Structure 1
Amino acid sequence: MDTQAPARGRRLPAGRKADLAAYVEEFGRVTVGDLAAHFNVSIDTIRRDLDQLDREGVVVRTHGGAVSAAENQGRDRGLDVRLRMQVAEKEKIAQVAAGLVEDGSVIMLNAGTTTLAVARALRNHRDLTIATNNLRIPGEISPLVFRDLYVFGGSVRTITQATTGPVSLALSSSTPDVDIRCDLALIAVGAVHESGYSTTNLGDATMMAEMIQRADRVAILADSTKLGRRLFAQVVPLEQADYLITDEQPGPELAATLAAAGVEVLTP
């Protein structure tokens, strides 16, 4: 009986997919061409394998390749990658968040794919005033939804397609900034920990904290993969939010800390 392992090009699909997933996990970011050459199969075969692994949540499909779902957990991912991650969870969170928004109210939304999902979920709202640093929102939200839409200025971070700068709006270069406030700030964060809410970038954290300070009510948005984690830049302590909107209930320790801080956890 021949006990030799089959040649790589003749591996069973299930075995190849397992090897492919391990390869993407090891290298973090790969192209379709590299994978086809490495596994000695066609580009179409690799594309089908990656599509299936993407559906299973093992990898994240990108234009021309894939990245590991666990790549650089503590660093910024490109928007094209993040738009493919936790899609169903973000849509559920967005629906809950939209339920907190009253017609005619003033809201602030920060950068991120979760707040982009919220903007889409507001399609049945009317007469809103919206202020944001998310450069994708003006092109995604229906003009029927808002009365006024403002984008905060600052430097542009292309990886997140957002501005980073002061939470302020000037009427002209010769007049002082107008003091602004909102009824509700909807803030997507990178991590939720007993110590507070955090993100990867110091400038983003500063801007998010200022949005929170200017809001009568604050809802933090974070899918369950971000719970119990802590990233580089703390935004604010837990008690500075009124709500945490997520797709699953937090673990017992975090849930108890949130309750003690007066934060109401909202799930679909």
Structure 2
Amino acid sequence: MYQEERMQLILDHLQTKKRISIEEICSLFDVSRDTARRDLVKLDEQGAIIRTRGGALLPNPLQDKIGNYKERLMKVSEEKKSIGRVAAHYIRDGEHVILDSSTTVHACAEFIDQQSCFIITNSINQADVLSDKKGVSIHLLGGQLEKEHRYVYGSTVISTLSNYFVDKAFIGVGGISASGFTSVHDEEGMLKHQMMKQARQVFVLADHSKFGKDCPFRFAALSEVDFIVTDRLPEPDMLEMLQRQGIEILIPDFKDEEELEEV
């Protein structure tokens, strides 16, 4: 087998298994450890993998591949809208709630129809959507504006948040894995974590593509979340791990989105 063929098969393996060891390469392709290392060195030089001690994994998604907020809003799927509808169902009249700046949480904001509730957010877009809802009182946090992604952040925001105690926080994430909950931007991740700390119940809103994915910044442990609202159950191993942490998985019933299926 030519090196180029073997390298492509290594990448195919990584797409499904997420990581590979030198021992696995030797076993799969009947090559020596030196040959396996040369394959990984070449793939690393091409930017296709990240070499680790004894193997390799796929690189994290690059920040520059993430579109700005308006672009991401245009691509909000029906699955994310269903997630947002389910999440909004859990907001009760009179509650104090934190909404972060993610597009999936934006979908939640669109479905809020409570007679009265108090919403705290760092998102310009969330505040704009909620401004048309008569029963909603809005507190837009002040801080440094991230223009491209339409949210405010910084030490001032975190300090202000620490004075609030709310019933629920609704948080979007970049990835969910055994490592915990991750995001691409560290500033945003620190802000999400502070939001979680101020809430009695924490809801993570994430479509199925976020399971088994790690982004560069880990901002919270699995044990810090009460519910994950998603469109599809994760793989059995992931589901078992989440349930061991006491997390409830909430998914829409696409036949009737007013009915909730709890696992």
For the 8 Å contact 1:152–1:168, the answer to whether it is kept is no
CA distance in 2, matches of 1:178, 1:87: 33
SS in 1 for 2:182: strand
Q: For residue 215 of structure 2, what is the aligned residue in structure 1? A: 231
Matching residue within 210, 234, 237 for 1:250: 234
SS in 1 for 2:108: helix
Q: AA paired with 2:209? A: T
SS in 2 for 1:229: coil
CA distance in 2, matches of 1:215, 1:100: 14
SS in 2 for 1:267: strand
Deviation, 1:103, is 0.7
Deviations 1:139-170 (A, max 9, x none): 11223131x2111121111121001123344x
Q: RMSD of the TM alignment (CA)?
A: 1.6
CA distance in 1, matches of 2:99, 2:229: 14
Q: For residue 143 of structure 2, what is the aligned residue in structure 1? A: 154
Q: For residue 81 of structure 2, what is the aligned residue in structure 1? A: 91
The answer to whether 1:167 aligns with 2:164 is no
The answer to whether 1:77 aligns with 2:61 is no
Q: AA paired with 1:167? A: I
For the 8 Å contact 1:152–1:167, the answer to whether it is kept is no
Q: AA paired with 1:218? A: V
Q: For residue 36 of structure 2, what is the aligned residue in structure 1? A: none
Deviation, 1:82, is 1.1
The answer to whether 1:206 aligns with 2:190 is yes
In structure 2, the CA distance between the partners of 1:178 and 1:164, relative to structure 1 (3 Å rule), is closer
Relative to the length of structure 1, the TM-score reads: 0.67
In structure 2, the CA distance between the partners of 1:104 and 1:259, relative to structure 1 (3 Å rule), is same
Q: AA paired with 2:140? A: V
In structure 2, the CA distance between the partners of 1:155 and 1:216, relative to structure 1 (3 Å rule), is same
CA distance in 2, matches of 1:113, 1:73: 18
CA distance in 2, matches of 1:112, 1:241: 17
Matching residue within 127, 132, 149 for 2:121: 132
Number of matched pairs: 188
CA distance in 1, matches of 2:246, 2:162: 31
CA distance in 2, matches of 1:152, 1:73: 29
The answer to whether 1:181 aligns with 2:165 is yes
Deviation, 1:74, is 3.8
For the 8 Å contact 2:76–2:103, the answer to whether it is kept is no
Deviation, 1:86, is 4.2
Relative to the length of structure 2, the TM-score reads: 0.68
Deviations 1:110-136 (A, max 9, x none): 1111111111110x2121100000111
CA distance in 1, matches of 2:162, 2:100: 19
The answer to whether 1:102 aligns with 2:92 is yes
Gaps of 5+ in 1: 1-71, 170-176
Deviation, 1:80, is 2.3
Deviation, 1:178, is 7.6
For the 8 Å contact 1:190–1:199, the answer to whether it is kept is yes
Q: AA paired with 1:131? A: I
